A and B are shown apart, each in its own frame.
Chain A
Amino acid sequence: MELSRRSFLKSALAVSASAAFPAVWLRAREAAALEACEQGVNLVIVQLDGGNDGINTVIPLSNGTGLNRTIYDSVRPYIGVPLSELASTQIGNDPLHNGELALHPHMNCLKRLYDRGNVAVVLGTHYDNGNLSHDVSNLIWYRGDPTLSLSSGGWMGRSLDQLCLGQSNAVPAVDVSSRLSPLFFGRTPTLALQRLSDLDVPIPIALIPPSQSDQRTLFRQTLQNVYQLLSGSESFAGDWAIAGRAVLSRIDDYRTASSSEAENLNALINGASDHPIASPTRQSYGLATGLRLVFALMRGRQPGNVPLGCRIFRVGIGGFDTHSDQGNHVPLSEKPLDQKVAEDFRGELHGKLLHRVDKAIAAFWADLESVGLHRNTLIMTFTEFGRRIAENGDHNADSGTDHGTASPMFLIGPTKAEAAENGPFVAGGVYGAYPELHLPDRNGNMVYQVDFRHVYGEVMHRWLGLSIATTNAILGSGGFRYSPLDILVPA
């Protein structure tokens, strides 16, 4: 059993210890660790699906001792963002060549969080022999296994199997999707849902009348018993049983959330007017809506609210496969943001996507702050690959970028001052190294700088409290060994 799980699932333990958790959990050593961090930790994984253009997300401002800005200007004459637009979103320098860097101008909210110390940018993350297929590369990121030789489970699914060992009723994760992401594949039940109202086990129509309550109970019990019976089976029927059991064991929590709580959640998901970052189009942003649901699920565990026991979430946003019409940046002095929003960022496809990511995450962070949940919540972004260094086509509005390799990851979490007492926190700043744009591989792609598994390892070991041995067992294909990046500081 994993002994260093520390704070994980703390409040789930508090609400249902007698039913769901074996006594071994309450050994003195663990209990002490659990108390050390009052609230436990949450993790929200944000996936930028399609391959995000990292070079236009974190943009070189100057060369330093390298050549990145010079190359940037020469190979991206249309989609490149001019220097004059980047002054207000400058972040720390490239650790390798000391060139200055800036976030895309539409990422001003993340820039504010960066200045407060909440954001770590990890440059140049990818893996050996970057695969240019969306499908294969996504699989590599989902499994945390560039060789695709380890278990077919996902890196998070396998982590959850360790974190929830012995807790047969734990449902620790929610994928905000109708399709469960392979990163959750494992033996631990994970909910995939887009709306809370989705959850309602269909009862036979004939058993609805009050006179049939015994048979109704029997229906539900038979269902539950057979699912319990099969969920140990290493087969697809067993996988199906696990999925069903996740709902059957949690559904009453959701349903007894009572109508008022459901209304409360719906109001949270739909409401925007009272929000600190009110945006006219917010509700149409899938990512913002998804993060709002995550917030509702997390908040459900607050005192007085319903304990849902979910701590790990994934939310995705698609559209990053910008082969064409990637667009150029219209200076904000020529066209203010409101107008861009009203025009749906016409001619600025990638800028629109970054705007949405930026505003959705910032709004989510503000939501968390409003109830103190930012103290123990970490956001991690990833994408299956970055894009080609040079823009394609005839350097006009049709131009885009083809499949590439490295791209930056973002970790957003509490600073030391904000973190829960004795809880882990983020040391904001720029990490890794900006790939040297003048030294591409033979496909015109960047040479990556940081194995992305170090970032996963950082989250698994320093945030979720898995041991280094377990972390390496999950990520260690091809002889990989996690070495701390010191982005996250453990409790």
Chain B
Amino acid sequence: MDSIEKKPLEKVCFICAKGSLEDVYATLVMANGAVMEGIETHVFFTFFGLDGITKKRMNRLHTATTGNPAMRTPGGKPFPTMLGGLPGVESAVSSMMRKQMEALDMPPVDEFLELITAGGGKLYACKLAVDMFKLTEEDLTDELDSILTIGEFYERCDGDRTQIVFT
């Protein structure tokens, strides 16, 4: 007898606090996936995560080539940390990663944000971080819903089938 009632997730709220390529994309893939499943989706960008919604930076995100033990060469060999620190290496590796992602039909960040909002997902910027980085609303994506305080973000995270995910 199956007496356990299924309680599907109704709302998911993401906090994106880091600005590396993989951190921002992890947030975007999960948020877009939630929207596609019909789950109400809110994404709050704070600290370096703001790079993911800053017009000048969002399509040029980098992945760390130093201090990243999972880093490999394209052939799968270990990637020496010393090499990662050379000028231009981080840029080249990041651009290669973006190309590989594009080949898997993962859109550039600006287009990804559009996919999320097209399905009704909401994007927010953290007021404290926006002030700290001296940004204005003009610097941020047109897809932005609003700049919120953390309290205002939590107000949007109500409901008993809601999850907050910190990426």
- Say whether A associates with B: no
